[in-house]
Amino acid sequence: MRNALREIALPIGALAAALLVFGALVWLAGVDPFDMAWLLFKGAFGDAFSWQNTLQRAAPLMLTALCVALPAQAGLVVIGGEGALVLGGLACAAAATQLPLPANLAGSVLACVAGALAGALWVMLAGALRQVRGINETISSLLLAYVAIGLFKHLVEGPLRDPASLNKPSTLSLPEGLRIGGIAGSDVHWGLVLGVLACLLLGGWLRLTASGFALRVVGGNLRTAQLMGLPATRLVLLACALGGACAGLAGAVEVAAVHTNANASLIAAYGYAGILVSFIARHQPLAIVPVAILFGGFGAAGSLLQRRLGLPDASVLVLQGLTFVFILASEALRQGDPAALWRRLWPARPALKESSP
């Protein structure tokens, strides 16, 4: 119970510390931090419109956070979800406009599956480089994300560009029958349901199945897993493929439900924000849902802070960055004794001995 409480208290403490530091920064900018805190809450959860905006932003965060959390269960630090997201959106747009898909629910599912498959193959490439060539997956996944963004821009502005898109290059728009509408007529699209279901199903798979347990054994101690005869490489690639599929699905849903085509607006840093969501949730799929909603609220409140207080719309990114710093700092407290950490940071000086005459 003590360990469970510490797992919960440390992320909450890191978030509270980030809010305090962010409040101090806005106070130095001449803004009342209490007004900032109230508007931050109001913009995220104050009314029905705020809730719709928050949930709409939380949907891709859930899926991109899974792109970090699942490989983390296998002992990998994959931070290239942004690349899988943009390629997933591009694959969805290409499949919907270049292939003869039926203009109904089945066609929407096939287009989203194409996006998920593109994301799975892209992130799995980082896992294969780690397992086959020993290349650090953190660096390779990040570099692959930049490669994916470059490939996305090349195809959107070149071979797949809609000739009618002049000022803002984009692909052809999806047919009306392939678009994903809102839930009960609201602005919240069905990607939220997909994100919640993905977190529930993958969380249950990790905890309740033999393959999920084997994956966690690989992440806990690779040497032990190999001695037990577990297929470590296969499990690592499976975790990367599932995570990449979730990020690719996020891009596909953004295209089918929000943008209706693939364009530069798809590069909205959801993949990078998903890294923060996953770390705060301790890489646990079930905990990703509330954390994604919280950070979706932070993003939704940015425009309100700009209108009411004159703060930049991107000021919430400073809050996210501070939270990530404090989360990383809390890792030292979680893994060891805080007193021992303090002694390592500030070693005691040896006492001076009196010299004899």
Question: d(Cα 54, Cα 221) in Å, to the nearest integer?
Answer: 38
Mean pLDDT of 89-105: 92
Whether 332 shows a pLDDT value over 80: the answer reads: no
Whether 316 shows a pLDDT value over 50: the answer reads: yes
Question: d(Cα 296, Cα 268) in Å, to the nearest integer?
Answer: 13
- What is the structure's pLDDT at 339? 52
The pLDDT confidence band at residue 352, using thresholds 50, 70 and 90, is: very low
Among 114-123, 162-171, 199-208, 329-338, the least confident range: 329-338
End-to-end CA distance of the chain: 59
Q: What is the pTM of this model?
A: 0.88
Question: Are 309 and 319 spatial neighbours (Cβ–Cβ below 8 Å)?
Answer: no
C-alpha dist (Å) from residue 10 to 14, 69, 296, 334: 6, 18, 21, 7
Question: Are 156 and 262 spatial neighbours (Cβ–Cβ below 8 Å)?
Answer: yes
Query: Could you give the 3-state DSSP secondary structure of residue 291?
Result: helix
Buried b (16+ CB within 10 A) or exposed e, 92-112: bbbbbbeeebeeeeebbebbb
- What is the structure's pLDDT at 351? 47
Question: Are 249 and 116 spatial neighbours (Cβ–Cβ below 8 Å)?
Answer: yes
Query: Could you give the 3-state DSSP secondary structure of residue 140?
Result: helix
Counting beta carbons within 10 angstroms of the beta carbon of residue 163, is it exposed (0 to 12), middle (13 to 18) or buried (19 or more)? exposed
Per-residue pLDDT of 289-309, as tens digits, reads: 999 999 999 888 888 888 888
Per-residue pLDDT of 153-191, as tens digits, reads: 999 999 999 998 888 899 999 999 899 988 887 888 899
Encoding tokens for residue 94? 């290409």
When the pLDDT of each residue in the chain is averaged and rounded to a whole number, the result is: 88
Question: Are 244 and 291 spatial neighbours (Cβ–Cβ below 8 Å)?
Answer: no
- Amino acid type, 83: G
Question: d(Cα 119, Cα 233) in Å, to the nearest integer?
Answer: 19
Whether 345 shows a pLDDT value over 50: the answer reads: no
Whether 286 shows a pLDDT value over 70: the answer reads: yes
Question: What CATH class has 10-335?
Answer: mainly alpha
Query: Could you tell me the residue ranges of all domains in the chain?
Result: 10-335
> Of the spans 116-120, 160-164, 227-231, 280-284, which averages the highest pLDDT?
116-120
- Amino acid type, 291: V
